[in-house]
A and B are shown apart, each in its own frame.
Chain A
């Protein structure tokens, strides 16, 4: 049970949030131009990293905003939190 700092509300208990999987997977603008493999890559393939992962979270029982989190999946340490549309921190 970690603590997440919602970029809109501040520090809250994990139980207020829901996880949304890997971040920065943009829905293709022209899906019809993609091959089956390319579409499947967007649709099904996720990295599932042990270590530093960029992922989406939603403050479901709060402001209901989606945002991004940089988390070490091996120890749940959170390194950064940033809004949708913002660039991920480089380090």
Chain B
């Protein structure tokens, strides 16, 4: 049995709740409250994965979201699997399965590890340079090689079975971070009458003070952890304070709009989770924001500083004091500051062997005195120059430093150890502050970037604002919050704080070594495997901007966004380039602060909730009659109605013939409808359509073409004059919303003097379109009181009517070229109208047809569909629709653009018909059209926009846009396809009944 590294009792875990989990197939145990990292460490497991580029063994390094190495796949192989989970944040649950990623074939024997031995040829820019040439090897060699050996986890292959949610939250004050400063701030804010929300990413509040049992840190004469514990009990009872655990802030946008992810299920076993929410995305709008996001410890940069067993000192303290886990039996602490001495003292108190290496000459701190008194050996003015041990650190070598810190002197001392705790000082977490647009300043004394100018109503407090000592943290938090929240008194006004103070500071970004830099591996970015020499190489190659160096060396580009690495990269760049760090600036911190799952981002908007589905009132009838549907915008439109075993082609051929031979019926309810009223309605139509409207008689209909101001066709449709000052405009199905917006824009901004009122009535009316030689006979049966003859009810006119007492509007208009009527009725009677039409049409074999047949029938007539035969680059002239452009009107939208030199070019792409030489061959829509296949480069003349086999003409027909098409009529062109070239002849685009005789048949 392996050694148990759980050495001490801890009140933070539930020892009665033992939990089993699997890591790389092997069963381990931990306790409720453990993270995967603490549970593994308690079992003596340090080695977690392989590094990205060199495949060096890497171990758990931290205890939080900044973890670069301990990235695992959890949830086995099923739909619950998730890659890139930080073991330091994942709480264990019964049955948890975790495995290493980035290791092939396994974590202990790794083929990619060979990169480690050939690493002199994998310097910075390796991926840019090596895999650039020859290009053709990319798909066959480079990419598979990189993916095979460096894959960062596996994506799930099954749909995510879990539920996610989005929720809005409005509050007076949002406090981010539940450490000591966040707790004090939340308390002051709530006491001051503000609706306050406190969010914290851990399962319990208290930050690092909650396990600070050192007697040198006292608040109101109590040990700081005891005092804080009481405060936490206090704030839980405050009425106007909401506390959210396991909630991490992902993004901080302008105007205090923030996104936070609340974890509701990730710490629960799969059984407990079923049908419950996994994660919730909070969309928070806060009047004021208090950032108390803390700071993270810096590593130190020296040769081979990446072995499993090298950890951050404060994390080692948390593992022993919070989780009761020792990270080694023989510890060395390597530091440049006093805070790491707290770790040494904690370990020493628990009887664990510890030695200290300090790059400073001396420290006057009480902590150092205590360490000495406890008998801990301290090597002053020494640095680590090398480490040994492959899967776990075994020993380190240290040397004395020269006075200026640039060199090492004397002989090497070998220290045997199984843990090296490093501390290079502290970096305030200013990520969220900068995400919100805040500007930073640089503090030279301890080389930190601090919040300076905020763009919204917010403050930063505690160590994220550069306060690192307990008395500063507490006193500044209190006074800053009082100012920020305008509160005159607080419960904390008489607080007494005592703590050790650090007086001796020393910082060296890249520690000296006895070997030249080229022979060492001082890692900066552990996740992306970039070293100090990569940074220097990038600078030798001329990179200066921090953003460029970052991308060239990939420093800070991992899933941890370089939380540990960035400061050292900046430090080394500034030293090498001889510029001040403050003037160098930082890289941009972008959301999310920690990775978000897709599920959280998407929330409930999946499956049928992905988008709105609009259905016509007749939808149920279509469904009952086995219609196939097509999506047109958000609408479901009947596409065709297969009979028996018919495929789409067969259905469409049957429907098309029936519509022309006897009668067809189409559900046209989806067409956009805009009700236009007002004394200037006619003038308004004159301005928005290309043709003239003033003379349209009451009860008459007219087709209109609408342009953009650039002269390009935007929409079309028939508009009916219902009465003197009342029109009903129809638009294309897809264009309805945009047309309304455009018309409103002109009315409100350009022509506010016009008396015109627009109302969208698309959903108010259902429309059945009955066409074919027998349409008149069917309408006669339905509306016996109406006279249906060409004199009293001619083509392009309208009549009010009643169907069983329900008001209808009947327009005699046609999109098929047949004698045709559109009947509009209030939506709720739509289905009944349809059924009555079907009944009345039964003796005439009335045939329902879908959008596909509609497209075919109109193509036979050469009627365009805006958006299919046009693409925003076609003028009416290009469409050979000169007849619809009024020459007399002084102005309309887009008119001036029709006379621009470019729109008047004669060789623009123009709408033409195409006939295939072999009449049974059907062109593919979108196919390119050329004249000369041999010419290099081949010249694309245009493309096919609509193509069908016409059952009424018994041949294939197509519409196309072709360069200079008007002049090419009768000429042969080619349509090259993958396996053949189709010969075509340019033709007129009205293929059927060009004299419009059928309209009045």
* Interface positions of A (Cβ within 8 A of B): 1-3, 13, 20, 26-28, 30-32, 34, 36, 39-40, 43, 56, 58, 60, 64-66, 75-77, 84-85
Contact = CB atoms under 8 A, between A and B. Distances in A.
Contact of B741 (A1, A2, A56, A58): A58
Nearest to B257: A1
A76 B257 CA distance: 13
Contacts of B285: 3, 13
A1 B255 contact: yes
Contact of A75 (B437, B750, B752): B437
Contacts of A43: 709-710, 897
Interface in B910-944: none
Contacts of B750: 26-27
B255 A2 contact: yes
A31 B752 CA distance: 19
5 contacts: A2-B254, A32-B895, A39-B900, A64-B744, A84-B748
Interface string B557-583: 000000000000000000000000000
A87 B805 CA distance: 54
Most chain A CB inside 10 Å of its own CB: which residue of B253, B255, B285, B749: B749
Given A32-B890, A75-B437, A76-B254, A39 B896 contact: yes
Contacts of A31: 891, 895-896
A2 B285 CA distance: 10
Interface of B: 253-255, 257, 285, 437, 455, 709-710, 741, 744-745, 748-750, 752, 890-891, 895-897, 899-901
A1 B253 contact: yes
Most chain A CB inside 10 Å of its own CB: which residue of B710, B745, B748, B890: B748
Given A1-B253, A1-B255, A32-B890, 7 more contacts: A2-B255, A3-B255, A27-B709, A40-B900, A56-B749, A64-B744, A77-B455
A26 B891 CA distance: 15
A58 B741 CA distance: 9
Given A56-B749, A84-B748, A85-B752, A32 B254 contact: no
B744 A32 contact: no
Contacts of A84: 748-749, 752
A39 to B, nearest CB: 5
Given A1-B253, A32-B891, A60-B741, A66 B749 contact: yes
A39 B437 CA distance: 39
A75 B748 CA distance: 29
A73 B349 CA distance: 58
B749 A34 contact: no
B740 to A, nearest CB: 9
A30 B285 CA distance: 47
A60 B737 CA distance: 11
A20 B752 contact: no
A77 B745 CA distance: 25
Contacts of A58: 741, 745
Contacts of B455: 75, 77
Contacts of B255: 1-3, 76
Nearest to B758: A64
A36 B891 contact: no
Contacts of A75: 254, 437, 455
A3 B254 CA distance: 9
B901 A36 contact: yes
A1 B284 CA distance: 11
B732 to A, nearest CB: 20
A13 B745 CA distance: 21
A39 B749 contact: no
A67 to B, nearest CB: 9
A85 B891 CA distance: 22
Nearest to B745: A66
A36 B900 contact: yes
A13 B283 CA distance: 12
Nearest to A60: B741
A78 to B, nearest CB: 9
Contacts of B749: 56, 66, 84
Q: Nearest 9 pairs between A and B by C-beta?
A: A31-B896, A1-B257, A2-B255, A66-B748, A76-B254, A27-B750, A3-B255, A1-B253, A39-B896
B900 A34 contact: no
Nearest to B283: A1
B743 to A, nearest CB: 11
B605 to A, nearest CB: 14
A53 to B, nearest CB: 16
Nearest to B893: A27
Nearest to A85: B752
A1 B168 CA distance: 14
Most chain B CB inside 10 Å of its own CB: which residue of A3, A20, A30, A43: A43
B897 A39 contact: yes
Contacts of B253: 1
A39 B891 CA distance: 13
Contacts of B896: 28, 31-32, 34, 39
A85 B749 CA distance: 8
A90 to B, nearest CB: 21
Contacts of B900: 36, 39-40
Contacts of B741: 58, 60
A33 B455 CA distance: 47
Contacts of A30: 891
A2 B897 CA distance: 36
A32 B437 CA distance: 47
B254 A65 contact: no
